Structure 1
Amino acid sequence: MNAVKASVIISTYNQPQWLEKVLWGYQVQTFKDFEIVIADDGSNAETKVLIDSFKKNSPLEIKHVWQPDQGFQKTKILNKAIVASAHDYLIFTDGDCIPRNDFVSEHIRLRRRNYFLSGGYFKLPKPLSEAITRHDIEHQDCFKLRWLQTHGLEKNFKANKLTAFGFKAWFLNTFTPTKATFDGMNVSGWKKDILDVNGFDERMQYGGEDREIGERLMNKGIAFRQVRYSTICLHLYHERPYLNALALEKNKLIRKQTKRSKTVVTPYGITKLT
């Protein structure tokens, strides 16, 4: 397969202190042929100042796609970011997920036609999230289990995500009971396939909005491959004030209809078909 450049689409909303750490992580990637498209769902000026500083002082190629704050409208800004992306292969992640330095290279190495890659994350508590510095990211200390334990992390089975390489990573990816899905904080696939299903359903709010596009991709014939022990990112702590019971119920009904009717193309996506 010929070399492919990637577009990394990072969603964010008013978390500049976390986004800064994430962008430090992308500055030290071993694979360099990628752009960053920041899908900004209405952040205030502080986020723009941060992004403009990175554009000026960083080697990263960054596009900032912004929309006014009208509540949780992540699906809309993601569709705009998809349109703005320049490359054939898309990696979706969040502005609170620090990538290990092989994050992009592993997504590129493992890519296959007619497949999407389903990654995971290693969740950190608030004090540890705050303790990570630029030095820790640039030297990759924060991805070392011993460093994390020194800073208060309790070891559990999930720590295998940080210690699995080679055969161990393959084995755990292959035999994990966790289902491979479209998880918006760590997933990748081909832009053409995303466009074929018309992107994200813009009726969806928080709660399963990423799973719904994954279900339409599967209806199209795309398979999902588990790579949660290969494409590693640290998920920084944050509250979820946008949880909404009514929105969750609406999302469930949309997903139910997608599954029942085997929907491939949403009429409420990048191109409005209604």
Structure 2
Amino acid sequence: MKLSVIITTYNSEEWLRKVFIGYSIQTDSDFEIVVADDGSTFKTKELIDSFSSKFKNPIVHVWHEDDGFQKPSILNKAILASQSDYLLFTDGDCIPRKDFVATHLKHKEEGYFLSGGYFKLPMSISEKITEQDILTQNCFSISWLKKQGLAFNFKLTKLTHNKWLATFMNWITPTKRSWNGHNSSGFKKDILAVNGFNEAMKYGGLDRELGERMFNNGMLSKQIRYSAICLHLDHKRSYATQESIAKNKAIRSFNKKNKITWIPDGIYKKASP
């Protein structure tokens, strides 16, 4: 397989179903899906089983018991379960445009990870999107979104189908080329080299912290936020606390200052390689 798509989820079957539909019509189908499930009920497994026949390769369901927000831990388990040497990370609330996988494969390069973004939808439109809207790709149409009540704003340029404009916008955007959990990809060996995600962290910047350690390890990144498009469906974040965000900021600050690459509380529980 050319690529493994690692999708995080937690008790969000309605959104995950829409995401699966998006992956079922990708222009490049030579990939596997690894669901990093942070303790969902049996309903998520039922949904996965119902979609298994729609993909060229099987969907791998990596699950652990619900013990609060444990995203770094389930992501590390999903990394080990993946069968490809190139990994694309996203979330179970991000519908991919049909060229999403192909775009990541087109831009992958040794020594780099790819930094993508998303177009965030309000709850009203998130709920309106049907299976047919995804299959026809209407939900990625600016005119369709405006008909659903979306106000015009500059961020709509993210949905451009003009490859030249997308390339230009990737070049001029002031947004940092960070590792974003909803839309980033890289070689598995480069992620393993920094021991994966930091399990000492909760919600708030844990994805970027991985990218910062990869930078410390000599990696570079490329901006593809206007080329690799996904729609972010709205949802609540009851797991977001000021305490966890503050703790994560302190960890990131320490790692930046001290050029940390390897963390002991990652995929492998040891102090150094």
Shorter-chain TM range is over 0.9
More displaced stretch, 60-69 vs 185-194: 60-69
Q: Describe the SS at the equivalent of 2:90.
A: strand
**Where does residue 178 of structure 2 map in the other structure?**
181
Task: Give the aligned partner of residue 125 of structure 2.
Answer: 128
> Which residue is 2:105 aligned to?
108
Equivalent in the alignment of 1:229: 226
CA displacement at 1:54 relative to structure 2:
1.1
TM-score by length of 2: 0.97
Counterpart contact for 1:99–1:234, Cα < 8 Å: yes
> Identity across aligned pairs (percent)?
56
Give 4+ residue runs of structure 1 displaced > 6 Å after superposition: none
Is structure 2 residue 107 aligned with structure 1 residue 119? no
Q: How many residues align?
A: 271
Partner of 1:240: 237
Shift of 1:127: 1.0
Q: How does 1:64-213 map to 2 (within 5 A)?
A: 64-213=61-210
The amino acid of 2:9's aligned partner reads T
Deviation digits for residues 108-151 of structure 1, max 9, x if unmatched?
00111100110000000111001101111011110000111111
Asked if 1:260 is matched to 2:260, the reply is no
- Whether the 8 Å CA contact 1:8–1:34 is kept in 2: the answer is yes
CA deviations over 1:245-271 (Å, ceiling 9, x no partner): 111111111111111110111111000
Q: Give the conservation status (yes or no) of the 8 Å contact 2:30–2:57.
A: no
Deviation (angstroms), 1:61: 2.2
Cα displacement string for residues 173-200 of structure 1 (whole angstroms, at most 9, x for unaligned residues) = 0010111100100000100000000000
Please say if residues 112 and 222 of structure 2, whose CA atoms lie closer than 8 Å, have aligned partners that are also in contact: yes
Answer yes or no: is the 8 Å Cα contact 1:54–1:60 preserved in 2. no
In 1, the alpha carbon distance for the partners of 2:114 and 2:54 equals 32
1:269 counterpart (259, 266, 272)? 266
Contact 2:29 2:56 in 1 (8 A): no
Larger deviation, residues 254-263 vs 31-40: 254-263
After TM superposition, the score normalised by the length of structure 1 is 0.97
CA distance in 1, matches of 2:154, 2:246: 32
Q: Specify the SS of the correspondent of 1:160.
A: helix
- Amino acid in the other structure paired with 2:118: Y
Whichever residue aligns with residue 208 of structure 1, its letter is G
Q: CA RMSD in A?
A: 1.1
Counterpart AA for 2:95: I
| Gap regions ≥5 residues in structure 1 | none
1:52 offset after TM fit, Å? 1.3
1:272 to 1:47, Cα distance in 2 relative to 1, 3 A: same
